[in-house]
């Protein structure tokens, strides 16, 4: 039996009177690309922040490889193989693209002190170069990240999440604000990374063509609740989902 990589059980998080996440349960299987869709404010980012130790859930459990990680912080989760991209760009504009990638991996290693005593480059440069080639950003690798187009910065941002060689990557709106001509390229890249690393991804995105094409299964959230979980074909044919979200 294939144990799920990630199990979320009855997760709840409220902000005052707002039940941002109201009892969400789902599994992500090894190698799976799992989509999370839903209207603005339906709790998708709050769910991610709980899964990443950024906020502590009020109730519920998160199991990674069968172990309860619900109360661990972001650094510990990163060490256990969870990577992420944020809804907003996190690149350092004044640093080169390549240095952004190297620093992203060093963060994962922990304290500044730990990094200062870490032996030199220790393979990080080679790993950054491999990702730079895979992401087709070699021609801008030595430019300051802030000088790139928004779409290219978004690619750097996604590449940064892969520097720590995570088993599970959570991507919050990888296509947001990106020129439509780049969206297909992001999808192709994520498919390649999924195949070559057998990594699992959870992807929040409003671009339905992207989600339907990329994801193996999709969860629909509405007002902090799970409305449906299924394959893209099942979600497309779900009347309740069409009425609440896709039909609009």
Ligand X SMILES: Nc1ncnc2c1ncn2[C@@H]1O[C@H](COP(=O)(O)OP(=O)(O)OP(=O)(O)O)[C@@H](O)[C@H]1O
Q: Residues interacting with ligand X, by CB under 6 A?
A: 15, 18, 20, 38, 40-46, 87
Q: Count of residues binding Mg ion (CB under 5 A)?
A: 2
Task: Mark 84-123 with x for binding to Mg ion (rule: CB under 5 A) and - for no binding.
Answer: ----------------------------------------
Instruction: Give the up-direction half-sphere exposure of residue 209: CA atoms within 13 A in the CB hemisphere.
Output: 6
Buried b (16+ CB within 10 A) or exposed e, 65-98: eeeebbebeeeebbeebbbbbbeebebbeeebbb
Query: CB-wise, 46 or 200, nearer to ligand X?
Result: 46
- The SS3 call for residue 133 is helix
Task: Mark 184-223 with x for binding to Mg ion (rule: CB under 5 A) and - for no binding.
Answer: ----------------------------------------
> What's 139's DSSP letter?
G
β-pair partners for 191: none
Minimum CB–partner distance for residue 70 and ligand X (Å): 18
β-pair partners for 61: 9
Q: Which does 152 bind (CB under 5 to 8 A by kind): Mg ion, ligand X, none?
A: none
Query: CB-wise, 176 or 246, nearer to Mg ion?
Result: 176
User: Would you count residue 42 as binding Mg ion (CB under 5 A)?
Assistant: no
How far, in Å, CA of 68 to CA of 54, rounded? 16
User: Would you count residue 45 as binding Mg ion (CB under 5 A)?
Assistant: yes
Choices 38-46, 108-116, 138-146, 224-232 (CB under 5 A): range interacting with Mg ion: 38-46
Alpha-helical segments (H) within the chain: 44-51, 74-79, 97-108, 112-116, 124-134, 150-161, 180-197, 208-214, 232-236, 239-241
Minimum CB–partner distance for residue 244 and ligand X (Å): 13
Minimum CB–partner distance for residue 205 and ligand X (Å): 9
CB 221 within 8 A of CB 38: yes
Q: Which residues of this chain interact with Mg ion, rule CB under 5 A? A: 44-45
């Amino acid at each position: 039996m294939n144990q799920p990589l990630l199990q979320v059980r009855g997760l709840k998080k409220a902000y005052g009177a707002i039940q941002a996440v109201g009892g969400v349960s789902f599994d992500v299987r090894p190698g799976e690309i799992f989509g999370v869709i839903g209207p603005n404010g339906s709790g998708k980012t709050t769910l991610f922040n709980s899964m990443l130790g950024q906020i502590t859930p009020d109730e519920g459990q998160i199991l990674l490889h069968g172990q309860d990680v619900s109360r661990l912080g972001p650094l510990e989760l990163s060490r256990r193989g969870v990577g992420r991209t944020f809804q907003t760009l996190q690149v350092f504009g004044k640093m080169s693209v390549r240095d952004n990638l190297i620093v992203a991996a060093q963060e994962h290693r922990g304290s500044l002190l730990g990094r200062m005593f870490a032996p030199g480059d220790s393979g990080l440069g080679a790993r950054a170069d491999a990702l730079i080639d895979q992401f087709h950003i070699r021609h801008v690798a030595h430019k300051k990240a802030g000088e790139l187009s928004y779409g290219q910065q978004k690619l750097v941002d996604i590449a940064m999440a892969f520097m720590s060689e995570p088993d599970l990557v959570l991507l919050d709106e990888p296509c947001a604000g990106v020129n439509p001509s780049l969206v297909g390229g992001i999808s192709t890249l994520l498919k390649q990374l999924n195949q070559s690393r057998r990594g699992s991804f959870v992807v929040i995105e409003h671009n339905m063509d992207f989600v339907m094409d990329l994801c193996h299964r999709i969860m629909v959230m509405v007002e902090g609740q799970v409305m449906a979980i299924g394959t893209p074909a099942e979600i497309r044919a779900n009347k309740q989902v069409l009425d609440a979200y896709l039909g609009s």
